[in-house]
Structures are given as structure tokens and as C-alpha cells.
């Protein structure tokens, strides 16, 4: 009897330790397909570890989005690392979201995966890209993404950096339902993107940026202009796109309007009706300390050596 009690206690302690470990990702269900074809399947692709702790937390961010999407009636989110090991989970998806690094690091630009994704998006599947995920070099891949998403970042005119932003919604698009102006201090942003010029493009969230951040010749021509940080795109040939360049800092998911804005954008991109007051989500501050990537601790900076004294200087 004592042996059984000791074993039970060890199991409880083990579970407690796992629950307290912010880097334990074992509780996140991956690549679990929808049990019913009537459910709206949304696939979330989480990029690998990047940047420093509590920044670029792509896995933890997607895990939060998956939880919030589960709270929406008729929706079945499927999460995968980088790209599904079982590509069958992509079949029938109404929307694909990627939250991860860009600049050619997107896991879906490998030729076979790109062909699969292209076929889906050309057929009307929605696309959502966030933060660095919309950074594409000049070329056919980036041009296609611009057509699907409505915008793409390229370094020829685009700018990026970290600063405080006061974001305000513009227009009456369904994605803005329930979204109020909000502040996002110290987050990371991309702006002055190549945007689609067709009537299906709609800027949704804008804000002022420091003019000193305008590092490209094109951006320097627009000092003082509100910059588009989030948008929606209704493709002429069918299908929808949604982009948001923020969410660098993991703490930004604590902003209610950001959560509502992004979840609304995902639902809309999947072809669903956005609730009149926007998507409702439950959130606790402790949610930010779960499912984090393990990242190397930066080495301390070496102390600067004192310059040698010149001949004749006092001791």
C-alpha cells in the first residue's frame, strides 16, 4: 500500500514539474486532423526557435492561437511544426497560417511543398502571414505571395525595427469587428511593404512610426505618414489573405484588441463570418509562460579594456 501511495505521489510531482516548465511543449497536440469534414479546418504552421527569449515565440504563439480558435464554433485548428509530417492534414483546409522567420527561411518554399501550397491557394484557400513570415526576396515566390496575401516585405523599400506603436483601426471591414485602438510598446514591426493595388486590398490597422526608422529611399519620401501594419485582401479569383506585421514580442498577445484582430483575420480568411462583436477569447497572463522554445542564453558582453596610458601620463 505504501508503495502505491509513493508511486502516486511521484506521478503527481512529475505532472506538477511538467506543468511548471515553461518549455514543456509536450501537451500541445500536433497534426490532429478534423474528425468531421463539416468543421472548418485551419492549419497553423509554427516556425522553429528564433531570436531571444519571449520574442519570436512562434510555437507558443501558434499554441495560443489554436486554443482561441477552438473557442470558435465550427472551427478545427490543426497545428504543425514548420510543415506537416503528414501532409494529409492539409487536405480540405480553408486557411493556412504561418508564423515564423522569413527571408527565405519559410519551410514551405522547398519546391514540392511550394507546389502543394500553390495549388491550395490558387484554388481559394485562405492565407495568413504574420511578422517576419511575409519577408520574401524579389522573385516569383514573393510575387505570388503578394497576389495571395495582398502584401509582401522586401528590403528594397521595406523598413523594420522596434518601437512603441499606437495602433488604430481604419474602415468598417468585418475583421475590425470589436477591435479598438491599442498601444503596443516596444514591439517589432515591418512596414512600407509592396501592397496589392487591386480593389480587394483593404488597410485595417495603421500607426505612426519614427521617421528615423525610414531607412529606404522610398520610405523617406513619406515622413509623418500613418503606416499600414495589418490588412485584408479579397483575391479577384477567389480566396482571402490577411497580414499583420507585429507580434514580435510574445507579451503582445496580452492585448485584447490584438488577439481579437488576429483571430478575426484568421476566421475571415477561412471564409467564415466574423461575429458582430469580434471573436471572443479567454486569456490569463500565465498563458504567456507556456510552450516556449528553449533558446541559448546570450553570452555576457566582455568588459572593455582600459586604453594603455601614453608615455608621460601620470600614474
* 110 vs 17: which has the higher pLDDT: 110
Q: Is residue 22 part of a domain?
A: no
- Structural contact between residues 107 and 100, judged by C-beta atoms closer than 8 angstroms: yes
Domain count for the chain: 1
Q: How confident is the model at residue 20 (pLDDT cuts 50, 70, 90)?
A: confident
Examine the pLDDT at 302 and tell me if it is beyond 70. Answer: no
Average pLDDT over residues 222-232: 98
What H or E segment, with its residue span, contains residue 129?
Answer: strand 126-130
Burial level of 283, CB count in 10 A (0-12/13-18/19+)?
A: middle
- Structural contact between residues 182 and 255, judged by C-beta atoms closer than 8 angstroms: yes
Average pLDDT over residues 42-59: 94
Q: Is residue 231 part of a domain?
A: yes
Burial level of 48, CB count in 10 A (0-12/13-18/19+)?
A: middle
* pLDDT given for residue 13 in this prediction: 37
- Structural contact between residues 123 and 237, judged by C-beta atoms closer than 8 angstroms: no
* pLDDT given for residue 8 in this prediction: 42
Q: Is residue 84 part of a domain?
A: yes
Examine the pLDDT at 79 and tell me if it is beyond 70. Answer: yes
Q: Is residue 300 part of a domain?
A: no
* pLDDT given for residue 166 in this prediction: 98
Average pLDDT over residues 226-241: 97
Examine the pLDDT at 67 and tell me if it is beyond 60. Answer: yes
What H or E segment, with its residue span, contains residue 146?
Answer: helix 140-149
d(CA 315, CA 308): 11
Nearest to 257 by CA among 302, 204, 314, 294: 204
- Structural contact between residues 88 and 33, judged by C-beta atoms closer than 8 angstroms: yes
Average pLDDT over residues 62-85: 98
* pLDDT given for residue 138 in this prediction: 76
Domain of residue 41, residue span: 27-289
* pLDDT given for residue 155 in this prediction: 92
Average pLDDT over residues 228-236: 98
d(CA 105, CA 43): 19
Average pLDDT over residues 103-126: 96
Q: Is residue 312 part of a domain?
A: no
Residue 113 backbone dihedrals phi, psi, to 5 degrees? -70, -40
* pLDDT given for residue 15 in this prediction: 45
Q: Is residue 314 part of a domain?
A: no
pLDDT in tens, 101-112: 999 999 999 999
Can you give the CATH number for the domain in which 131 is found? Answer: 3.40.50.880
Scored b (16 or more CB within 10 A) or e, 64-87 reads: bbbbbbeebeebbbbbbbbbbeee
* pLDDT given for residue 4 in this prediction: 45
pLDDT in tens, 132-166: 999 998 777 889 999 999 999 999 999 999 999 99
- Structural contact between residues 144 and 194, judged by C-beta atoms closer than 8 angstroms: no
Q: Is residue 191 part of a domain?
A: yes
* pLDDT given for residue 295 in this prediction: 86
Task: Please give the grid coordinates belonging to residue 3.
Answer: 508503495
Q: Between vectors from CA 166 to CA 162 and to CA 168, what angle results, nearest 5°?
A: 130
Residue 283 backbone dihedrals phi, psi, to 5 degrees? -150, 140
* pLDDT given for residue 296 in this prediction: 76
Question: Rounded to two decimals, what is the model's pTM?
Answer: 0.89
* 214 vs 237: which has the higher pLDDT: 214
| Residues paired with 78 in a beta bridge | 43
What H or E segment, with its residue span, contains residue 98?
Answer: strand 95-99
Q: Is residue 275 part of a domain?
A: yes
* pLDDT given for residue 304 in this prediction: 58
- Structural contact between residues 93 and 266, judged by C-beta atoms closer than 8 angstroms: no
Amino acid at each position: 500500500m505504501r508503495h502505491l501511495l509513493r508511486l502516486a505521489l511521484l506521478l503527481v510531482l512529475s505532472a506538477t514539474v511538467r506543468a511548471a516548465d515553461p518549455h514543456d511543449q509536450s501537451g500541445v497536440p500536433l497534426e490532429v486532423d478534423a474528425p468531421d469534414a463539416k468543421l472548418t479546418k485551419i492549419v497553423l504552421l509554427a516556425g522553429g526557435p528564433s531570436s531571444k527569449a519571449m520574442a519570436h515565440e512562434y510555437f507558443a504563439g501558434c499554441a495560443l492561437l489554436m486554443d482561441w480558435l477552438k473557442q470558435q464554433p465550427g472551427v478545427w485548428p490543426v497545428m504543425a511544426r514548420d510543415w506537416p509530417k503528414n501532409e494529409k492534414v492539409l487536405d480540405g483546409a480553408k486557411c493556412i497560417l504561418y508564423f515564423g522567420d522569413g527571408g527565405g527561411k519559410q519551410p514551405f518554399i522547398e519546391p514540392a511543398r511550394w507546389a502543394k501550397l500553390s495549388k491550395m491557394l490558387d484554388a481559394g484557400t485562405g492565407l495568413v502571414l504574420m511578422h517576419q513570415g511575409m519577408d520574401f526576396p524579389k522573385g516569383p515566390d514573393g510575387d505570388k505571395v503578394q497576389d495571395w496575401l495582398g502584401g509582401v516585405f522586401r528590403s528594397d523599400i521595406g523598413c523594420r525595427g522596434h518601437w512603441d506603436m499606437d495602433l488604430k483601426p481604419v474602415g468598417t471591414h468585418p475583421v475590425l469587428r470589436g477591435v479598438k485602438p491599442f498601444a503596443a510598446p516596444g514591439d517589432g514591426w515591418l512596414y512600407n511593404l509592396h501592397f496589392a493595388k487591386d480593389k480587394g486590398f483593404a488597410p485595417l490597422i495603421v500607426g505612426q512610426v519614427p521617421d528615423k526608422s525610414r531607412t529606404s529611399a522610398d520610405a523617406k519620401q513619406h515622413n509623418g505618414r500613418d503606416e499600414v501594419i495589418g490588412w485584408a485582401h479579397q483575391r479577384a479569383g477567389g480566396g482571402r489573405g490577411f497580414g499583420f506585421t507585429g507580434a514580435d514580442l510574445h507579451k503582445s498577445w496580452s492585448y485584447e484588441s490584438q488577439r481579437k484582430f488576429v483571430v478575426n483575420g484568421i476566421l475571415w480568411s477561412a471564409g467564415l463570418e466574423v461575429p458582430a462583436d469580434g471573436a471572443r477569447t479567454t486569456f490569463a497572463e500565465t498563458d504567456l509562460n507556456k510552450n516556449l522554445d528553449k533558446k541559448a542564453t546570450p553570452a555576457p558582453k566582455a568588459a572593455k579594456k582600459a586604453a594603455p596610458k601614453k608615455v608621460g601620463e601620470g600614474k
